[in-house]
Amino acid sequence: MEVFSVVSDVFGARCTVVVGDDGSCLVVDAGAGVAEAVVGYVREHALTPTAVLLTHGHVDHTWDAARLAEDLGVPVRMHAADVYRLADPFGTLGILGTSPGPSHDPSGPLAQALLASGVDTASYRAPSDVVPFGTPQGGRDDDVVLQLGAVRVVARHAPGHTQGSTLYLMEIDGEAVAFTGDVLFAGSVGRTDLPGGDAATMADTLTQVVARLDPQTVVVPGHGPTTDVATELSRNPYL
What one-character DSSP code corresponds to residue 67? H
Q: What percent of the chain has pLDDT over 70?
A: 97
Q: How far apart are CA 182 and CA 189, in angstroms?
A: 7
Containing 233, the helix (H) or strand (E) segment is: helix 229-235
What one-character DSSP code corresponds to residue 223? B
- CA gyration radius for the chain? 17
Q: How far apart are CA 191 and CA 155, in angstroms?
A: 21
- Residue 144 makes CB contacts below 8 A (sequence gap 6+) with 133, 134, 154, 155
For the stretch 127-152, pLDDT in tens is 999 999 998 877 899 999 999 999 99
- Residue 232 makes CB contacts below 8 A (sequence gap 6+) with 184, 186, 187, 210, 219, 239
pTM: 0.95
Which of 85-89, 117-121, 185-189, 223-227 comes out lowest in average pLDDT? 117-121
| CA–CA–CA angle 23, 57, 19 (5° rounding) | 10
Antiparallel, parallel or unpaired: β 175-181 and 14-19:
unpaired
Antiparallel, parallel or unpaired: β 151-157 and 175-181:
unpaired
Pair 96, 83: CB distance under 8 Å: no
Domains located in the chain, CATH noted: 2-235 (3.60.15.10)
Q: How far apart are CA 171 and CA 226, in angstroms?
A: 16
CA 222 to chain centre: 6
pLDDT of residue 102: 46
Is 26 a residue whose pLDDT tops 50?
A: yes
Q: Where are the alpha helices (DSSP H) in 59-167?
A: 59-62, 65-72, 109-116
Most confident of 118-132, 138-152, 222-236: 222-236
pLDDT of residue 112: 83
Q: What angle do the packed helices 65-72 and 35-44 form, to 10 degrees?
A: 20
CA 1 to chain centre: 20
Pair 144, 126: CB distance under 8 Å: no
Pair 141, 132: CB distance under 8 Å: no
